[in-house]
């Protein structure tokens, strides 16, 4: 399994204010989208999230997002190493993801960019 990078997950109260700060910090423009009632902005290596507290409570349990070449391969390797795949792999607008709990109890999201276009 090849790890391509990581994204730090940050829950914020005011997404607009946070975006201004992180865009200046990272030197790049935010990519904004919504998922499950949560407003999200990807800025460099930061994933800013704002929304209902019940949704953010769940999102805070995920320590980081790890980009991999192939989520299916990641699921296989993680399982072989004793991790528990909690959810996925599932398709998302940007590719596929899964949520896994490592043997030490830490939860991570794994994502790839393998997008399947459906007709």
Residues 75-114: tens digit of each pLDDT: 999 999 999 999 989 987 678 999 999 999 999 999 997 6
49 in the same domain as 89:
no
Q: 106 in a domain, yes or no?
A: yes
Q: What is the pLDDT of residue 115?
A: 54
pTM: 0.80
Nearest to 10 by CA among 52, 65, 71: 65
List the domain range (segments joined by +) for residue 115.
61-119
111 in the same domain as 79:
yes
Q: Is the pLDDT of residue 117 over 70?
A: no
Q: What is the pLDDT of residue 118?
A: 42
How far is Cα 105 from Cα 26, in angstroms, rounded to an integer?
Answer: 30
- Strands in 62-68's sheet, in edge-to-edge order, are 31-35, 38-43, 46-50, 3-11, 62-68, 107-112, 95-101, 84-92
- DSSP 3-state assignment of 57? helix
76 in the same domain as 50:
no
């Amino acid at each position: 399994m090849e790890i391509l990078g990581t994204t730090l997950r940050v829950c914020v109260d005011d997404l607009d204010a946070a975006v201004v700060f992180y865009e200046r910090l990272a030197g790049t423009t935010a990519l904004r989208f919504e998922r499950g009632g949560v407003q999200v902005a990807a800025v460099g290596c930061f994933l800013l999230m704002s929304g209902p507290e019940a949704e953010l409570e769940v999102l805070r349990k995920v320590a980081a997002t790890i980009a991999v070449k192939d989520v299916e391969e990641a699921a296989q390797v993680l399982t072989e190493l004793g991790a528990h795949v909690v959810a996925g792999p599932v398709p998302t607008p940007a590719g596929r993801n899964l949520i896994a709990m490592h043997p030490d109890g830490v939860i991570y999201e794994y994502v790839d960019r393998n997008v399947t276009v459906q007709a």
